[in-house]
Structure 1
Amino acid sequence: AMLALARDLVLCFDDLAAVCWAPSRSAIGRRFFESVISSWLDGGPFPALGLTAFAQSADGALHSVGLDFWIGQELRIEPPLSTDRVAATRLGIRLVNQFVLAGRLDSDERIIAPDGTRLVLRPSRDPALIIVRRE
């Protein structure tokens, strides 16, 4: 409901340049925000790029920023899976969408990535983090 209100407010303020979304520490362009939020509210995919973000850790892992707002956990894609940052971000977007639909991860899950790679999704010792690695 709050995002529908934010989307409606964006439509009312022609001079608005961007919407700041604190959980992902991002500024989302006005038109992009209106488009992806409208699509999501109409049953489309969760707007993972915008309402969450991705950052690279010092060790090369790719981790989400802001997913914890939605499910209480962040996502960490481990090297070497994260070496190809574009592919890792695409995987992260798919996983974020799935977690927003299904909720937090409480036990190990095994999945097959779009490229056929077998992956393990595992809550870390810190239950606020989901580790993604090759099986």
Structure 2
Amino acid sequence: MNYTLRPVGYLRSDLRTVADAPRQGDEGAPDAWLEIDATYAAALSGVQVGDALVVISWLHLAQREVLEVHPRGDPANPLTGVFATRSPHRPNPLGLHRVMVRALEGTRLRIGPIETIDGTPVVDIKPVLGADGS
């Protein structure tokens, strides 16, 4: 079976290469602009400045055949299956990024912090649910 993912937008970041990006958003990642395709503009209804979101990205430069890694890229760490790590290299390289909405300008959202590089496709956005499930 084949499945098709369509980007709903792309990230515009000052991070230009994988080497520039911190491993996690809370490790010094900058804010970035998320530019939503106009086709999906109505899907932004209800999103507000101050909202916490989970941005789901397609890590388009990841190696998809990798099944084991040394966590955090440290060879001193034992090889571990990618499903037990946050490695970007995995069979389906989806990135999960918890961010805050800093600004809204039409179909552009200023979000952060986010550790993705410029041009990363975004495949979905979801709100962060509260402790009570709301």
Q: If the length of structure 1 is used for normalisation, what is the TM-score?
A: 0.25
Q: Which has the higher strand share?
A: 2
Q: Greater RCO between the two (CA within 8 Å, min separation 6)?
A: 2
Q: Which has the higher helix share?
A: 1
